[in-house]
Amino acid sequence: MSDVRPSGLPLELPPPATPWMGITVGFAIARAKILRRPTALSAVVGAALVVVAAIIERRVGSAGAVDRTLAATFNVVVPLAAFAVAAEASGRQNLRDAVWPAARYGLARRDVALGAAAAGLLASAALGAFFAALAVATAHGEGNPPLARDLFTSGWIAALASAAYTGWFMVGATFGRRGGGRWVPLLLDFAIGGTAGVAGAILPRAHAVSLLGGAAPLGMTQTSSSAALVASAALLALAAALRCGG
């Protein structure tokens, strides 16, 4: 005899949600939050700051204008833009609470959170690369290295740095009632992130400076700084997801 309800509907439960389903849903939800007016406004303001910095540096002198503009972009615009993206990806609240509306239907919160973090990392990486390219293109002049090479180099460095920043901010968003913990890594990075000691090796700022030709934290090679940024982005996104629970 078939195990069915009188209405003909089967009694079998639907299969459990897979981790990939949770990640996909989390990515889609965070992407929708990111692709809204606040992020567009952040992009416009950031681009305006980059252009103004480039114009000022060009007037100071074309020699070194690109380097100085990139320094201003990486020191201010990149971390603040990544902060804005992370805030949108987490719904401007604690990440654990942000993923609950999707998790309540059977998805694991950690999977949804991992998808949200991935969306944040990709969006901030793209935005960071755009700002770096804009800085190079606006400040570039005679006597500078080939434009295409500068665009490519600064672009991938900004993408890695932005993703690493976002990883920190997503972890921070798991602390505090409204995710206020995201402010802690931002303030620490501004205060001590550019130092050559242990703090510089942990936070993104000094690694970005090293890749742009500056001093390296703890004497690390540029390859090590690149690896540190990649590892930070991936491991911190995973840490943020795990903190959201099952």
**For each of the chain's 246 residues, which pLDDT tens digit applies?**
444 555 555 556 556 678 899 999 999 999 999 999 999 999 999 999 999 999 999 898 878 899 999 999 999 999 999 999 999 999 999 999 999 998 888 899 999 999 999 999 999 999 999 999 999 999 987 777 789 999 999 999 999 999 999 999 999 999 998 999 999 999 999 999 989 899 899 999 999 999 999 998 999 999 999 999 999 999 999 999 999 987
Domain assignments of the chain as residue spans, ordered by start: 19-243
**Of 245, 237, 243, whose CA–CA distance to 89 is shortest?**
237
**Longest CA pairwise span in the chain (Å):** 87
Helix, strand or coil, per DSSP, at residue 4: strand
* Helix, coil or strand: residue 211: helix
- The whole-angstrom separation of Cα 236 and Cα 31 is 19
Query: Comparing C-alpha atoms, which of 107, 105, 99, 106 is closest to residue 33?
Result: 99
